[in-house]
A and B are shown apart, each in its own frame.
Chain A
Amino acid sequence: GNSVTQMEGPVTLSEEAFLTINCTYTATGYPSLFWYVQYPGEGLQLLLKATKADDKGSNKGFEATYRKETTSFHLEKGSVQVSDSAVYFCALTLYGKLTFGQGTILTVHP
């Protein structure tokens, strides 16, 4: 079946540090890939997406590139802010169903 694996968390960084959250996937077919973010007490917000190999999704300084050869979609940001503290979910979709990773808690300290 389809699955998504994210790096173990939680991740704690100082403000302005570089962020990488690893995500790899297994899928039968050609999925679209997403990163969603969840702030405390809220639902999921779409952060970025990529629909085919070598596509780069970007938003609010975050980037991720769809790598078919390594089945990966790692999230990066060059300089994190305290306001980026949240839970980040990597996900894939095939046939209308989203499959999520387990989520990575990010805490950014001033």
Chain B
Amino acid sequence: KAGVTQTPRYLIKTRGQQVTLSCSPISGHRSVSWYQQTPGQGLQFLFEYFSETQRNKGNFPGRFSGRQFSNSRSEMNVSTLELGDSALYLCASSGNRGGPEETQYFGPGTRLLVL
């Protein structure tokens, strides 16, 4: 079974631009979560989608948004980019029941650099 895939793997943007990242979950998984990883703040939860609905949200500003499509693929958008948004953005998917204890499987991440 193919793992979680994320595109693109690397991105360079300038301040004020917006960016869209894409995530395809493991086949059959209905829950997709997004995390931001930075050297200073570590791994932080952004949001989780299940069956096209945002089910959980972390403490990030409204510039960070996401959505999920009927095939469970998810996109994350960051508008008005700031230097501090430079990070590795990780997507994770989990099973088809959506239970809170289910294991999350991670993709390779998208590394975003904001200049």
| Binding between chains A and B | yes
Q: Is the CB of A43 within 8 A of B48?
A: no
CB distance from B54 to the nearest CB of A (A): 11
Closest to A29 in B: B100
14 extra interface residue pairs, beta carbon distance < 8 Å, beyond A44-B92, A46-B103, A103-B43:
A32-B100, A42-B108, A42-B109, A43-B109, A46-B104, A89-B43, A91-B43, A95-B100, A96-B56, A96-B102, A97-B56, A97-B58, A98-B35, A98-B45
On chain B, the number of residues with a Cβ less than 8 Å from chain A's Cβ atoms is 27
- Judge whether A99 is part of the interface by a CB distance below 8 angstroms: yes
Q: Is the CB of B48 within 8 A of A96?
A: yes
Q: Is the CB of B105 within 8 A of A46?
A: yes
Closest to A89 in B: B43
Q: Is the CB of A100 within 8 A of B56?
A: no
Q: Is the CB of B42 within 8 A of A103?
A: yes
- Tell me the B residues contacting A by CB distance below 8 Å: 4, 6, 31, 33, 35, 42-43, 45, 48, 50, 55-56, 58, 90, 92, 94, 98, 100-109
CB distance from B60 to the nearest CB of A (A): 13
On chain A, the number of residues with a Cβ less than 8 Å from chain B's Cβ atoms is 24
Q: Is the CB of A95 within 8 A of B45?
A: no
State the CA gap A97–B35 with chains docked (Å). Answer: 10
Q: Is the CB of B56 within 8 A of A95?
A: yes
Return chain A residues, CB-CB under 8 Å to B108. Answer: 42-43
